[in-house]
Amino acid sequence: MDGTVTVLVGTTKGAFLIDGGTERTGWHVRGPFCEGWPINHVVGDAESGTIWAGGGSAWNGAGIWRSSDQGESWQVTRLTRGTTDDWAENDLDFSAMIGYEPVELPFGSDFQQIWSIGIGQGGLYAGTKPASLLQSRDGGKSWTRVEGLSHHPSAESWNPGAAGLVLHTILTDRERPSHLWCGISAAGVFASEDGGETWERRNRMSNAESCAHHDHPAAPRDGETGHCVHNMVRAPGDNELIYQQNHHGVWKSRDGGRSWEDINAGLPSTFGFPIHVHPRDPDTIWTLPLNGDMLGRFPPDAAAAVWRSRDGGESWQACRDGLPQEGCFFTVLRQAMAGDRRDPAGVYFGTNSGSVFASFDEGDHWQEIARHLPTILSVEVLDCS
């Protein structure tokens, strides 16, 4: 590849690519792609340059788009039916107008959206709404369901979060291809060590007394963190270190999710959506707290800050330089923060008001690299350095 950095953005009106060249300057927006579908997640493979975008709606059904030429052209693999299929099959004029061709879809009407895509040594993975996990071994052209998770003994008790029962986070391990982790709102963290054949639910707190006095419905109780996990990231290196932004706090696991410790002390609230970890330093993390789930879901005091920890959550620092400090009411959603692998590492986030902010010095300073996009649902980075 050519050493460029491209920010991959999923929005309510398609996917967008923001090119920063080799120097992370002169940012240029391309799009919208994917025929304006709602796109919940866009990911890219730095080795091949292939990009995948997952999304859908009740109208479109669910599908995954693929581009092998850096966004110049796209092909879609449709997975479920949408209202458009029903209309076209019952209205010949409408069918002719949109050029509809009947096709047998592999999952019928089982789910409406793709919410997340993960790249692993075993192929591609995709999370759906309602929650299930799919796998592809041919680059996203065909998909099968990972039945071991769907048939987990707890599945009948899974409760939806405000956005529905969504599988929004997929973590893989390059060194151990059989290891997988998934985050489901609001069913919690699940892990597999045999390629998805069997799964363990991992929500236990390391210290059950540390959060015993919270009365929020999503708060930890009964020795567990609370099942409304918002986002997770795996730290780099030979370890089992995972960070989690929960509906009610930031958590850290040193043992692959088998136990979790609360690292929220020092942050201005317990509520937020995204979390990001440094590509080389497992102790450096970033998150963006919001003022609360029932208070508007915007930055505390309407002043934006990305909070950074350099010591694995023992202490936190507010990074504000270049971010709006008055009248800031945007929300940053669970998949809308990511980073590149440069030195110093770049950090990027997108807002529901259509802006993308970037820092090229690990959070010390920020600048807006795109604005006026549709509502941003996800941000990832294709770093071909």
pLDDT by residue for the chain (385 residues), tens only, comes to: 578 999 999 999 999 999 999 999 999 999 999 999 999 999 999 988 999 999 999 999 999 999 999 899 999 999 999 999 999 999 999 999 988 888 899 999 999 999 999 999 879 999 999 999 999 999 999 999 999 999 999 999 999 988 899 999 999 998 899 999 999 999 999 999 999 999 999 999 997 666 666 778 888 888 999 999 999 999 999 899 999 999 999 999 999 999 999 999 999 999 999 999 999 999 999 999 999 999 999 999 999 999 999 999 999 999 999 999 999 999 999 999 999 999 999 999 999 999 999 999 999 999 999 999 999 999 999 998 8
DSSP state of 240: B
DSSP state of 3: S
CA of 319: how far to CAs of 191, 288, 379, in Å? 33, 10, 19
Give every CB contact of residue 147 below 8 A, 6+ residues apart in sequence.
none
Burial 59-96 (b: 16+ CB within 10 A, else e): ebbbbbbbbeebbeebebbbbbbbebbeebeeeeeebe
Whether cis (ω within 30° of 0) applies to the bond prior to 338 is: no
Predicted local confidence at residue 2, as pLDDT:
79
CB distance 247 to 238 below 8 Å: no
Length of the chain: 385
Residue 34: name the closest of 5, 58, 11, 68 by CA: 11
Predicted local confidence at residue 348, as pLDDT:
98
Predicted local confidence at residue 117, as pLDDT:
98
Tokens of 20: 């920063």
Predicted local confidence at residue 127, as pLDDT:
98
Rounded Cα–Cα distance for residues 43 and 188 (Å): 23
Residue 232: name the closest of 271, 307, 181, 173 by CA: 181
Residue 42: name the closest of 82, 9, 84, 7 by CA: 9
Predicted local confidence at residue 102, as pLDDT:
87
Tokens of 372: 């006026």
Rounded Cα–Cα distance for residues 110 and 357 (Å): 36
Predicted local confidence at residue 212, as pLDDT:
64
Rounded Cα–Cα distance for residues 110 and 371 (Å): 36
Predicted local confidence at residue 207, as pLDDT:
77
